[in-house]
Every structure is written in structure tokens, then in C-alpha cells.
Chain A
């Protein structure tokens, strides 16, 4: 695929801004949830839903769709917002997040909302399921791909490494793991809680091809994934370096925003900042 044109990039940046505003609005309405990781993956989910993936919002079960698994289910608001913006369901439904009877469960439930692929929340399980799907595609000779979005913190789970070993064994080149490397988890820095570095080397040692990029540089992320798709005989990981809470000044880099929703005045300020940023993106035309 060609690299992004300036117009295409600007459109993706506008979509990402919409996604961030959707996250803030849904979390304000919910009164609980996880803004930090949701905001920092807005650019990546936008790139996946609006550019990289083969999918159809009007036919979520399309057999040859690419599978997008969200392993760290607690950042569901970013996925819900991206899906709404992409046309899977009305944007207003985002305001039902975490409410009784909603399809937008606090952690994603596949049987509740079409297009989710898995039920997730307990950490470290996404890559294992994605490995199964990728192997199933290989067994069937299908050409769809599997993308698994993971947090860096969940790399402390043993199951994730079982999955890395297995994907390496079966040479699943139709599997791409995307890591939200914000270096933050609930109790602080990943490197204090349980160090992950040398992170990329660990993947290489498990026979994975490693790509790294700035997770907020949409063009760089798209480029990394396009290169990953060209790899033969190996699963790939894209380690996306991100800033927790990206896009909202007072949340950026602050682990206290991992699981604390914005209050009304905080949400208003966040939306004001995002609207101003949107103006700047639009002016860049």
C-alpha cells in the first residue's frame, strides 16, 4: 500500500480527534472507566479502523474480515468510540457506556456487541486467542489477518509468553501484536513494578519480527504495520511508544488517570482542548 497522502493523514487525525472526544464524553456519562490508556490508543485504533483493516461496519461478521482483538479490555472506550465513528453503531450510544442494559459493557463482551471478536478484560489473554484465530486462518488457507492490541503491563502475565512461544512455533505471519508501550500501569511505572526491558529483545528471542514507532505518529504507525504485513514466516510486533492520556494536557503521562474518569469540569476542559486541536488539524489543510 502507498504511504499516506497529506490529505489522508489529516483525515485520520480528524477521526482520531473525534475518537478522543467520544472517549471523554462516554467516560463522563459512565462516571467510571479508564481514560489514560483509552486516549493514548486513539491514533492507533483510528489507523486500524479507518485505514489498515479489511472490515465492514454494516457486516461485522463478514467472514474474510481482519480480526482486531483488544486484549487489555479496560481501554474499551477507545474501541467503542472508534467503532461508533466508523459506523458500527450510533455515536450517541457511547453515552450508554457501563450502564445497565448497555451493549457497551465495562469490559468488552463479544456476544453483547457485534464486531468485538473476543470477550476481554482479564489481562494477558488476547494474544493467546489471536494465535488460535491466526492458526485457524492458516489451516483454512484464509487470507485475513489478526491484530491484537495489548498493553505493556499485561506482558507480565505468563499466558502472553505462552502465546508468543506458540505463535513463533507456528510461524504465524498473519498475526500482528500491537503494544501500547506507555510504560505505565496501575501501581506506577512498568519498569518499577516489574521491568519489561529489554522489551524488543524479548520478542526477537521468541522468533518475532519487531517494529517500533511513535504511537501518536499515525503515518509512522501505518508504515510500521504495512512493513509488518510484508514479513513472511514470523509473527510481528509493533511496539508503539505512547503517552498515557495523550491529547488532554492534564492527563498526559499521569498514571493517576489510568482508572479515574473525568469530572464534569475536567471533561469540559478536555473537550475544549480537543476542539482547539481539531481546529488546528483542520487549518493544516
Chain B
């Protein structure tokens, strides 16, 4: 796979796997990383507890339940209760992780999240499983593609969308260790593992996974992989993209976003979420105020999902590699028109 020396240097500095080698790349659901991270968080801090709303296997809380049965609480199908009760437990010094599908928590429980977690300032961590259309055959009712918008609008909330299972484990440990209400979003489907144990991770610090100066692709979640593949393909045509893994939606790494726009002159945002109100919208807010630049948005364009395979749905809603390539070319064209070239 063609890529420049500088692109490879960025990848090496981030200790990424050789994601161009399709045979070597592992496919693991990001939720697995949450399950592993939660057990490790439980080992590190006895105050960490887990509360689940009847989805312990699919949210991957099962491992914690086995490891720490006295610190695991099952409350059944009651997502508002999940949040408000966790706020009460947090008031006694616990660090509750609460898990359900993102569609139900925070989808159903938003007001409890706002009042009892954020306004009340309690140390509760939401694990939003099965986010995005990559949920697949379950269909639109179970595909949360609005959750980032409703979480990032809440003051004092941390919002994290890690890019693969390895990073999801690190993100789980990071939100456990940092005091404050947090939302961690992950997915159901198997997805490419691009980071390694050695890849650094810090909340609020975006990561340059690939260097390039023509267009910046700012991505989050499992679509970071598609962004990397698109960038490598474009490099064959002489277009070099910077790929930023923008895992922390709130607080967003504003200097990294501004630097990407300044250095590249055009931006493509990529997320498995409505383009209204999501990660890309935050990027646009930052750039409109600090460094206006052409932006193209990859994500759900005001549509609900439907049943299908993750691959079919990713293509249908314009989040596949070809769609990202096309968006980069549009962004590049707008940049050149703007620069009078």
C-alpha cells in the first residue's frame, strides 16, 4: 500500500498496526474493550461498581459480574432508574459504571442524566453499547445515532468515542480514573483493531494517526479505520490526508482541530452518528470561531437506520471508504477554489 514516509512516521509514533494488511488486522468489537477495561478498573479501584439494565452479556459487563459479584447490581429494564440510582450510589463514594444500549441510556434517560448526573455533579459513567447503524439487523429502533448530540450538549459531561477495542479499554480506565460524569460510546459489530497496547491515550488529546497536508480527515469511533484506508488509497493519487483520531468529543482538543484546518486547509469529519449535533458539528463550531475552512461531513444525514449487515448499512448511509474518498475530493476542490487555484 502506498503511503509517504511522513504518513508512516505518524503511524509508527502512534504504534499503530499495519492496517493496510487486511490479512493481519484483527476484528474485535469495541464493546469487548469495555468489558476488559471495566474488570481492570475494578481491580484498580474497589469503589468501582457496575449496574446493568438486563444486558450484561451484550454490554460485556458479564466479566465484571463474575469477577466482583458483590459490586455488580442488576436492576432490570429500567434505564431512568439506572441513572438516578447510580447517582445515589455515587453520592456514597462509589464509582458506578452503568450499561445499556446507547439508544436506551442515554436515549431514554436524558433528563435523569442532566439532573442527577451532570447538574448534581456525580461521578457516574455511562457505557453506551450498540451505538451506530453498525448494530445491524436489529434495525433503527436499536441504532443510536443521536446520542453524542444529546450528551455533548450537557455541561460538565465528558464524551468519549474510542476507535477500536484496545482504545476502548484504555478509555474505560481513563474515565474511571478521572472524577466526573462521563459518556463512553462503543459498538456491537466486530471492527478493525488499529491501535496497540503501546498506542498512547489521553482524554481530551486528539491523535494524529496519519500525516498529510492536503485534507484533514477528523474521525472518531470504528470509522477511523475507514478514514485510514481512504487516506492510503488517496495517497496513490498523490493526495495526502492527515487522519486525526478525535476520540474525545467533549472536551474536544481544540488546538488539534485548529492545527489540522490550518495545516491542511480543508476538513472532512467522519462519524457513525447524525451529522447534526455530533462530533463533526463540534469541529465546525470550533473552526467557524477560530479558523474557518471548507468542511465535508460524513455521517447520518437526517435519516434513521434500518436492518442490514454493518457493511451494507455503512455503505447505504455514505460512511464507507469510497464515500470518504469522495468527500475528501470535494473538500479539496472547495479548498482550491477558495485559494483561487
Contact = CB atoms under 8 A, between A and B. Distances in A.
Given A125-B84, A136-B89, A159 B73 contact: no
B112 A159 contact: yes
A135 B89 CA distance: 7
A128 B89 contact: no
Given A117-B91, A136-B88, A136-B89, A129 B78 contact: no
Interface string B93-134: 110000000000000000110011001110000000000000
A128 B92 contact: no
Contacts of B116: 118-119, 125, 128-129
B245 interface: no
A163 B92 contact: no
Contact of A130 (B70, B88, B111, B121): B88
Interface residues of A, number: 31
Interface in A155-183: 158-159, 162-163, 165-166, 169
B17 interface: no
B94 A136 contact: yes
Contact of A166 (B85, B91, B94, B112): B85
Interface residues of B, number: 27
Contacts of A125: 84, 112, 115-116
B120 A132 contact: no
Given A128-B80, A162-B78, A163-B84, A133 B91 contact: yes
Given A111-B120, A162-B80, A132 B85 contact: yes
Given A109-B119, A122-B111, A166-B75, A128 B84 contact: yes
Contact of A136 (B75, B92, B121): B92
A170 B70 CA distance: 13
Interface in A105-162: 109-111, 117-122, 125, 128-137, 139-140, 142, 158-159, 162
A131 B115 contact: no
Given A111-B121, A119-B120, A132 B111 contact: no
A132 B88 contact: yes
Given A122-B111, A128-B80, A129-B84, A110 B120 contact: yes
A131 B85 CA distance: 6
A171 to B, nearest CB: 14
B81 interface: yes
A136 B81 CA distance: 15
Contact of B91 (A109, A120, A132, A159): A132
Contacts of A122: 111, 115
B31 to A, nearest CB: 25
B86 interface: yes
Contacts of A131: 81, 85, 88
Contacts of B119: 109, 119
Given A118-B120, A125-B116, A135-B73, A166 B89 contact: no
Interface string B63-93: 0000000110101101011001111111111
Contact of B70 (A110, A139, A142, A169): A139
Given A125-B116, A139-B70, A159 B93 contact: no
A140 B70 CA distance: 11
B108 to A, nearest CB: 10
15 contacts: A122-B115, A128-B116, A132-B88, A132-B90, A132-B91, A135-B89, A136-B89, A140-B92, A142-B92, A158-B80, A159-B84, A162-B80, A165-B76, A166-B81, A169-B75
Given A133-B92, A135-B73, A137-B92, 5 more contacts: A120-B115, A131-B81, A136-B92, A136-B94, A165-B76
4 shortest A-B CB distances, which residue pairs?
A132-B88, A136-B92, A128-B84, A129-B88
